[in-house]
Amino acid sequence: MDDATTQKLILLNLQFYQSFAASFSSTRYAVQPGVKLVTAQYLAGDTQPAHSLLDIGCGNGGLARYLSKTTFTGSYTGLDSTAELLKYIRPLPSTLNFSTNFQQADITIPGWDGVFINSSFDRIVSFAVIHHIPSAGLRQLIFQSLHRLLSPGGYFIHSCWQFMNEPRLLTRIIPWSAVGLDKEQVEAGDYLLDWRAEQGVTGYRYVHLFNETELRREASSSGFKVVDSYLIDGRKGNLALYQVWQPVN
Residue spans per domain, the chain: 3-161+209-247
Quote the CA–CA distance of 19 and 26 in Å, as a whole number: 14
Amino acid letter, 234: G
Give Cβ neighbours of residue 69 (< 8 Å, ≥ 6 apart).
none
Model-level pTM?
0.92
| CATH numeric code, 3-161+209-247 | 3.40.50.150
Local confidence band at 45 (pLDDT 50, 70, 90 cut-offs): confident
pLDDT given for residue 75 in this prediction: 94
* Higher pLDDT pick, 243 / 60: 243
Q: Helix 212-221 crosses helix 136-149 at what angle (to 10 degrees)?
A: 60
Local confidence band at 21 (pLDDT 50, 70, 90 cut-offs): low
